[in-house]
Homo-oligomer: A and B are copies of this chain.
C-alpha cells in the first residue's frame, strides 16, 4: 500500500483527497495535517467522515515523515518549501496549489506576486494533466496538479488548436464554477443568503488562472495564445462548465472537428466525448473524475463551441491528483477513481 499524506487536509481539496484515498485499493491515508485544526479529528471538522476517517490532524512534518507521497492542498505560495523538504527526502510531492504550474517565472511574479524559490525544482516539476501530458508524468516525483478552470478549458480546446482547426486569437472561455471552488474560508459573497438564487461574474478578464491556461493552449498551438477568460459563480456546490468559443478556420467541417477529438481522446477513461446532440452538464460528472465534453458549431457565424464539464473538486483537484499519484507510482491510472456519478 502506498502511504499517502495530505497537508492542508481540512480545506475542501484536502478533505476531498481524504475521501478518495480512504476508498483507494492500493493507497492508504497515512497522515493528515492542518494548521487550523491541529489535534482535531478530521471527522470533527467534517462529521460525514465520522467512524470512517477519524484521523487526527498533526503537523506538516509528521505527514512528510509518514508518507511515500505528500499531497499539498495549501494556499498558493506555501508549497515551495514543502516541495524542497520532500525532494530532499526522496518523497513524491503532488502540489494542488499554483506554485509549480507556471513555467515562466515572470508570469508567476506578475499574477501571484511570488518568485521561484527553488528554480531547480521548477525544472523538475511536471504539469499533471494526464489526458494531455501523460507520458511526462509517469514515474515523476514532483507534479504540479492543475486547478479546476485550467483543466476544463484546455481539455475543451487543445485538440482543435493542436490540429490547427481554429484561429488562435479571439478565443473566449466563459466559465461557470460551483462554490466549493472558492474554498472553505467564509466570505460575504459565499454566505448562503447572498449567493442563493444569485449569479454573477467575478474577476472579469483578470483571473490568475489565465496565464496557466494560455501556457497549455500555447503548447497546443505551437505559438502564444491569448485567452479572454470570464469566470462566473454558480449557486451549486460542485462543478465547472466551460463554454469555449473560437473562430473556425475557413473550410473546416464539423466532421473534421469531431474526428480530430475522437482520435485525440481515444482510449481515455475519464474524458467522455459526448455524441452529437448531447450537451455536457455538470450534474453528469458529480463526485467523480470524469470530464464530459460536447462539440458544437455555429455555422451561421463560423464559430466553434466546445463545452466541457468537470467536478471542480475531483477532476479539477483531488481526483486528478490521485490520477497523478497513480501515474507517478506506476499503478493502474484509474485506481481509486472508478466511482459512478450519481444520476441525481
> Which residues of A does B touch, CB under 8 Å?
12, 15-16, 19, 22-23, 46-53, 169-170, 172, 174, 176, 178-180, 184, 186-188, 190-202, 204-205, 226-228, 230, 232, 234-239, 241, 243, 245, 247, 272, 274, 278-287, 292, 296-301, 303, 305, 307, 309, 313, 338-344
Contact = CB atoms under 8 A, between A and B. Distances in A.
Contacts of A342: 16, 19, 48, 287
Contact of A199 (B202, B241, B274, B298): B241
A297 to B, nearest CB: 7
7 closest A-B pairs by CB = A200-B281, A205-B298, A198-B283, A46-B343, A48-B341, A48-B284, A174-B174
A73 to B, nearest CB: 13
Most B CB atoms within 10 A — which of A196, A292, A340, A344? A344
Copies of the protein in its oligomer: 4
A204 B238 CA distance: 23
Contact of A237 (B193, B228, B340): B193
Contacts of A303: 170, 172, 205, 228
A205 B201 CA distance: 22
A237 B343 CA distance: 11
Most B CB atoms within 10 A — which of A186, A192, A227, A236? A192
Contacts of A52: 340-341
A196 to B, nearest CB: 5
Contacts of A22: 340
28 contacts: A12-B343, A23-B338, A47-B284, A48-B286, A48-B340, A48-B341, A48-B342, A48-B343, A49-B340, A52-B340, A52-B341, A53-B340, A170-B247, A170-B301, A170-B303, A174-B174, A178-B193, A186-B188, A191-B191, A192-B195, A199-B239, A200-B279, A200-B309, A226-B300, A228-B300, A228-B301, A235-B235, A313-B344
A199 B176 contact: yes
Given A50-B284, A199-B236, A274-B50, A23 B204 contact: no
